[in-house]
Amino acid sequence: MWRSCSAVARVSLHRYSLQTARGFTGMLGVIAKQLKSHPALIPLFIFIGGGATMSIMYLSRLALRNPDVSWDRKNNPEPWNNMKPDQQYKLFAVNMDYSKLKKEGPDF
């Protein structure tokens, strides 16, 4: 196999195997080295990391707390029917007082 490859291909294959062997810690080392040489990138990394963290937290909140999502089909196939009228499930409600709401429809 090695005889059919050129010298350049062998060197690049060897570099690739070293990079994958280093894995995640090698990537963090490269990022730390770049941040030390270019300190203007620090705010960029902070804001991108914060945005990614907030989006992951919001998506996990939607998946776990939203009544439109049903994880247990056998025991609770329609979780939106178990909502109380004064229960707030939205993240942010403008000009809405959920404690004063009353049930208007029938029980299912």
pLDDT score at 79: 73
From 60, 63, 61, 107, select the one nearest 84 (Cα to Cα): 107
Cβ contact 101:85 at 8 Å:
yes
Per-residue pLDDT of 6-15, as tens digits, reads 655 555 555 5
Q: How far is it, in rounded angstroms, from Cα 14 to Cα 17?
A: 5
Domain boundaries, the chain: 1-37, 39-108
Q: Which residues of the chain have pLDDT under 70?
A: 1-24, 85, 88, 90-93, 98, 105-108
Cβ contact 69:62 at 8 Å:
yes
pLDDT score at 11: 52
The residues near 29 (Cβ < 8 Å, ≥ 6 apart) are: 22
58: left (phi over 0), alpha (psi -120 to 50) or beta: alpha
